Structure 1
Amino acid sequence: MEFRLSIGLNGTKETIVSEQNTAKTYGSGALEVFATPAMIGLMEGAAMNAVQSHLPVGYGTVGTWVDVKHAAATPMGMKVTAKAELIEVNGKRLLFQVEARDDVGLIGEGKHERYIVEEEKFLAKTNSKRER
């Protein structure tokens, strides 16, 4: 199947830093600040949002690679917004420029790769691991 995705598609996703997404809760640090894994998840969500509505029913994307820098801490109670822009399409492979900002400024940036998958087929293959 051919997918018609245009360079420049963009998406966003936001959250408020709370006890659920701190480094202390994730176990990625000891402090109650926005966790790096939470920031990456937010960036992945923004990338997914950029393209999902452009895919046929039954298709989605899965994240396969991230290369991001978490440059500034964000305290609890502050909003974080991630943005993703599609910068490359190579068949089912999608590459995004991603960034995250809090109310003060840039907190993270980098690149993120996703692949387009047929959801039912992907889940069947994944679930077959249980039978091994």
Structure 2
Amino acid sequence: MKIDLKPGLHHSKNFHISEHDLASTLQTGDVPYAATPSLIILMERVICEMIAGRIPENYTCVSAEINVKHLMPVSAGDEILCSVHLKFSEESKLFFDFAIFNLNDDIIAIGAHERVLVKKDEY
């Protein structure tokens, strides 16, 4: 399998938090702030965008493990920056670090994420 993913690869993307991202909307809490699962989804989207076109077409990448620290609240309408970094790879496993910032460069969330490359036809 030929992949074009080298340690050190980095990708960032800005997002606006919507009402759909809030813990109160998702019923994961009573607060009107971004839910941790919403931030995880945004991080995974950035990783998927980064690896698109860098792996064979008959492969996909699936989530295996996530470690996240959600440090600050984010409200609907706020803009955030999600930055991901490919730390290393081991066979079909990819290990990423990520950070999510607000526009003041405050850290909203940090973490590590492991993904696994798998053949699409094996599912």
Common fold by TM > 0.5: yes
Q: 4+ runs of 1 displaced by more than 6 Å? A: none
Give 5+ residue unaligned stretches, structure 2.
none
- Which residue is 1:88 aligned to? 88
Matched residues in 1 for 2:120 and 2:30: separation? 37
Q: 2:28, 2:60 → 1: CA distance? A: 28
Q: Which residue does the alignment assign to 1:48?
A: 48
Aligned residue for 1:119?
A: 120
Percent identical: 27
Residue 66, structure 1, aligned to residue 57, structure 2? no
For 2:117, give the aligned amino acid. I
Match of 2:98 in 1: 98
- Per-residue deviation, 1:49: 2.1
For the pair 1:11 / 2:7, whether they are aligned, the reply is no
Aligned residues: 122
1:46-87 residue CA offsets vs partner (Å, 9 max, x unmatched): 222222221111212111110010000011111122111100
* Preserved CA contact (<8 Å) 2:2 2:55: no
Q: Give TM-score scaled by structure 1 length.
A: 0.84
Shift of 1:2: 4.4
Q: In structure 1, what is the equivalent of residue 20 of structure 2?
A: 20
* Alignment-derived partner of residue 75 in structure 1: 75
| Residue in 2 that maps onto 1:126 | none
**5+ residue gaps in structure 1?**
123-132
Q: Which structure has greater helix proportion?
A: 1
Q: Aligned-pair RMSD on alpha carbons? A: 1.4
Q: Could you say if the C-alpha distance between residues 120 and 81 of structure 1 is closer, same or farther in structure 2, counting changes exceeding 3 Å?
A: farther
The answer on whether the counterparts of 2:21 and 2:34 sit within 8 Å (CA) in structure 1 is: yes
Counterparts of 2:83 and 2:90, CA distance in 1:
21
Are the equivalent residues in 2 in contact too, given 1:14–1:42 (CA < 8 A)? no
Indicate the SS of the match to 1:41: helix
